[in-house]
Structure 1
Amino acid sequence: MISLSRLSPPFAPGTVWLVGAGPGDPGLLTIHALNALATADVIVYDALVDPAVLSFAHEGATLEFAGKRGGKPSAVQRDICERLIQLAREGRRVLRLKGGDPFIFGRGGEEALALSDAGVPFRIIPGVSSGLASLAIHGVPATMRKTNHAVILATGHAAPDAEIEWSGLARTGAPIVLYMAVSSLPSIVKGLLEGGLAGDTPALAVHGATTAKESVVEGTLETLPKLAEEGLIRSPAIVAIGAIAAFRSAIANHLLEFGSEAAQ
């Protein structure tokens, strides 16, 4: 049998690995991510990293929480970057662990730039994207030849000096997959409707995909704000808007529940 460590590059002291932990279920970790968890001296992790993933850390590892949650006191990105640099300069093996993929709305790019500017060697380990995985496990394809040849990934929380043109996105006709958007749904839906997207456009929201907290809500574009107001769509959630969101009902009767066998 091949050792997992032989399939992964060495995690050298004084380096940082920016690693995607996937949507939650540890079965979706990559081999490189598992090796990093088993080797790292310090793991700086986000709020969306499931505790089951952290259980793969070796006993001597130090766990440091650096999560960001909307509307709650959160770590400042500048401080996180400085902490990664400090730990690496102390000769530690530093694992920066992020939910999903570190380069899809995970601020991995900002941390890569900071590490590069500081002269700290680092490695990027992609992870299973939470946005696409949340849909796929529930039978919602990101693309379908008969409905769409493109898909839009968008965040509900733009940077302070940026603005998302929702009406323009609506006019593309491509399905939209939203991250971190539950609290912004009223304004997002308003913009999409103004852009010509029909109110009865299928929509689907997944909270806590692949974890014990998972919930799925189906609706339409115009019902999304009310579903969120009633607490049926909980944050954080992935929200899909477009023809692909209606595909789940066509295969739901024969789709095996994700992780159902492992739980038995």
Structure 2
Amino acid sequence: MTRVVVTGGSGKLGRAVVREFDAHGYDVVLLDRVPSPDKPEGVAFVRTDLTDYGQVLGAFIGLDDRYDTPVDAVVHLAAIPAPGLVPDVALITNNVKASINVFHAAKAAGIKNVVWASSETLLGIPMGEHQPPYLPVDEEFAVRPQSSYSLGKAVEEEMARHFTRWDPTLKMIGLRFSNVMDETDYPAYPWDEQPEAKIFNLWSYIDSRDGAQAVRKAVESDLTGFEAFIIASPDTVMTTPTIELVERFVPDIPRKSAIDGVSSLLSSDKARELIGYDPQYSWRDGR
């Protein structure tokens, strides 16, 4: 049985990730400051301050009678999840410190498989002066962070590039998640009466269950080195055709390929090709 440590496993995406790994037979250890409200019975919870390197390293190398055999993979989701929740410097300090602790502790513990939550905000989102250079958006252009939150994600990706340069056998995958949603959010959908409210990320989202699938498949992939993948649902939060939204709100952004139906403007084609990402859920399922 493969042991996976999930940091931030008590959050919205984290709970889905923990359930996904547990359902697929993994030995899951949940690290967070607070317990999960719906943790599977067999999952160990360890209260951990990820800004304390000693605690992180200790959790990775063994916990008394909990486990004394190696951790096989780390999924790092813990973070202050959005701009504006705490002052800017406090946000980037917390998030980057937690990530550097996780990355270094994994290295010290000999863990070669690290997947973590990067963000769609590296893609020129929220829409503004530094909007994406073309649509649909992919991973082929340089990141353009616009907040302390997204700057922290850019720092994490740059750190991962160098960790994998130092050790070519290491795998570090940053998943650039779109806005994470679950079934409790979907009664508010669609957003056709307020399209302006969702232009900030081009009307995109990701169902937490599909996000969890992407995490598992990233962990299971045989890739090495650093990779970044956009993880978004294939549809938008709208019933309005996507091309109509583009022509109304962002007509000046060049179009790299055809935009059909209600397709997302955040392309997950790279994730489909390289890790087998195969989204199954949509807010439309219950309507």
TM-score bucket of the superposed structures, by smaller chain: 0.3 to 0.5
Indicate the structure (1 or 2) with the bigger Cα radius of gyration: 1
Question: How high is the TM-score relative to the length of structure 1?
Answer: 0.37
TM-score by length of 2: 0.35
